[in-house]
């Protein structure tokens, strides 16, 4: 009898620990826009602006973009990329939200390059993220997927309004981290294009 009671007490104790961990995780309130997987192949910018089509984010009250991360290298030379948040209209990037942020680095091998940001999002608005090579030569990691990115050619500065030149079957390792107002560790508002709005 005592053994049965002890087992039940241990079970209740373990359940309470798991619930406490879930509460702590929820309070952290992190989410993402973009693709945080390391791509298997390489892509060289060549002075273009690139925007995510495959992933978008529907904001809730209190959401703020706090950083951008790009998996890339610059061949050991100094290079700079710009990153920005855009509203989504008709399934493509539309208007830039605030100013783009810039990050200068020098890396001879692949790694995550991260730049801080503070970009408040508006509840009920759909967003995506875009990136450009503003100086130097940057090589990105990518995976193949149909219509994964929107591309602007001869573009080194992210424009206030996006005007798509073409769509490409790539998905770059590029994402933005979001501090959520309500706490959403399960990325409740993180959508794939095929669900939500559906080479050089």
For 157-179, the pLDDT digits (tens) are 999 999 988 999 989 999 999 99
Q: Would the pTM of this model clear 0.85, i.e. be above it? A: no
Architecture of domain 29-196: Sandwich (2.60)
Nearest alpha carbon to residue 28 among 188, 176, 182, 183: 183
The structural domains of the chain, with segments of one domain joined by +, span: 29-196
Taking residues 180-195, what's their average pLDDT?
A: 46
> Given a cut of 80, is residue 120 above it in pLDDT?
yes
Which tokens belong to 77? 């030379």
Q: Cα separation of 189 and 96, whole Å?
A: 20
């Amino acid at each position: 009898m005592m053994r049965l009671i002890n087992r039940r007490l241990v079970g209740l104790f373990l359940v309470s620990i798991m619930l406490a961990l879930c509460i702590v995780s929820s309070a952290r309130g992190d989410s993402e826009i973009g693709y945080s997987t390391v791509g298997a192949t390489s892509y060289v910018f060549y002075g273009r602006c690139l925007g995510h089509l495959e992933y978008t984010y529907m904001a809730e009250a209190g959401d703020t973009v706090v950083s951008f991360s790009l998996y890339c290298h610059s061949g050991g030379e100094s290079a700079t990329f710009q990153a920005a948040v855009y509203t989504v209209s008709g399934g493509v990037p539309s208007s830039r939200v605030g100013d783009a942020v810039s990050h200068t680095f020098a890396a001879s091998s692949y790694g995550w390059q991260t730049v801080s940001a503070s970009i408040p999002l508006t509840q009920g608005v759909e967003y995506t993220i875009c990136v450009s090579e503003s100086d130097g030569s940057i090589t990105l990691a990518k995976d193949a997927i149909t219509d994964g990115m929107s591309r602007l050619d001869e573009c080194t500065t992210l424009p206030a309004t996006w005007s798509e030149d073409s769509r490409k079957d790539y998905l770059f390792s590029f994402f933005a981290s979001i501090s959520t107002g309500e706490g959403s560790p399960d990325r409740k508002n993180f959508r794939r294009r095929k669900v939500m709005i559906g080479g050089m």
